[in-house]
Amino acid sequence: KESKAEVVPASSEAAQKLKISIYFATWWALNVIFNIYNKKVLNAFPYPWLTSTLSLVCGSAMMLFSWVTCLVEAPKTDLDFWKALFPVAVAHTIGHVAATVSMSKVAVSFTHIIKSAEPAFSVLVSRFILGESFPMPVYLSLLPIIGGCGLAAATELNFNMIGFMGAMISNLAFVFRNIFSKRGMKGKSVSGMNYYACLSIMSLVILTPFAIAMEGPQMWATGWQKALADVGPNVLWWIGAQSVFYHLYNQVSYMSLDQISPLTFSIGNTMKRISVIVSSIIIFRTPVRPVNALGAAIAIFGTFLYSQVRFMDEECLQK
Ligand code: 3PG
């Protein structure tokens, strides 16, 4: 899509850039709000399998309502579409629940520092599983990403292995989700918004039995009594807010993916983490040691370097 930029007039190119900037700003802002409410919920009601499921329930219900009331035109899908969506939904479900489990165990900022290593996972999966090769500078740019994340993890005050592994599993799952989505969305007539809606519905079907097996109604009922006693009915609003914002930020991100290349998308996603890391540290007053912050800064800088070398590489390929 971006390669078409050279043939369109400058004014429509500027309009397109403005549109994408608005998508990015909305995506990032919605994501910050989601992360804050999600953590507030998990602090009071630490059942990540249930809260992950409720996010999908809410998104699916919102989209079914929009289709029934014709607010949004329902997508025309066939069996092949749902078959192609299945691996995307499996990866989305694993990535989603793993990130939520991670955030239930560690600070939001720590989960997102580890999640800033997603480009490194993407290169390693493309190299070792898909057999794609990259120029040397791409591999070199992974060193600060991996080193920075390693330093941040080693110096994290509240390190927890489940929290760390959850973020790592989420990285791996989302790399596969992006690879499968890219294939599934190619040449299809379903919009980004409806594609994400179908993804939510299928993920909800996949996740529900696992959530019941991992936690289950008895645990939820006991936890709910405690949350009500500790926080009061506000916790219900927080669950509502985290669920609505989860759907909205993902929907906007898929709407952006319709407009930009997967590379620009994944860089935007990592840059989004800077706003999440900074805002969550401020709001939750997360203690951060200077060496820990240095690790995070090196990792994010590595992502910036990575994006530059990948863009240069793509430009060379287009010439
Ligand atoms: C989730 O619950 O799916 C994660 O918080 C998603 O994280 P990401 O969209 O920022 O990768």
DSSP string, 21-59: HHHHHHHHHHHHHHHHHHHHHHHHS--HHHHHHHHHHHH
Q: Is 181 in the pocket of ligand 1 (CB under 6 A)?
A: no
Reference 197, options 35, 269, 49, 89; nearest CA is 89
Which numbered atom of ligand 1 lies nearest the CA of 35?
5
Which numbered atom of ligand 1 lies nearest the CA of 253?
9
CA of 96 to the centre of ligand 1 (A): 6
Q: Is 242 in the pocket of ligand 1 (CB under 6 A)?
A: no
Q: ipTM value of the model?
A: 0.94
Mutate to test the pocket of ligand 1, among 34, 100, 172 (most ligand atoms within 8 A of CB): 100
What integer pLDDT is reported at residue 226 of this predicted model?
96
| Integer Cα distance of 239 and 45 in angstroms | 9
Q: Is 39 in the pocket of ligand 1 (CB under 6 A)?
A: no
Structure tokens at 122: 């993407």
Q: Within 10 A of 182 (CB to CB), how many other CB atoms are there?
A: 14
Q: Is 99 in the pocket of ligand 1 (CB under 6 A)?
A: yes
CA dihedral defined by 87, 250, 287, 150, rounded to 10 degrees?
Answer: 40
What integer pLDDT is reported at residue 171 of this predicted model?
95
Q: Would you list the domain boundaries of the chain?
A: 2-318
Q: Is 96 in the pocket of ligand 1 (CB under 6 A)?
A: yes
pLDDT digits (tens, 9 = 90+) for 249-276: 999 988 887 788 777 787 788 889 999 9
Q: Going by CA atoms, what residue is nearest to atom 9 of ligand 1?
A: 250
What integer pLDDT is reported at residue 310 of this predicted model?
85
Contact by Cβ (8 Å): 87, 143: no
Q: How far is CA 249 from CA 2, 25, 31, 34, in A?
A: 23, 10, 6, 8
What integer pLDDT is reported at residue 7 of this predicted model?
55
Mutate to test the pocket of ligand 1, among 58, 246, 249, 252 (most ligand atoms within 8 A of CB): 246
CA of 217 to the centre of ligand 1 (A): 25
Given a cut of 70, the residues of the chain with pLDDT beneath it are 1-10, 182-188, 317-319
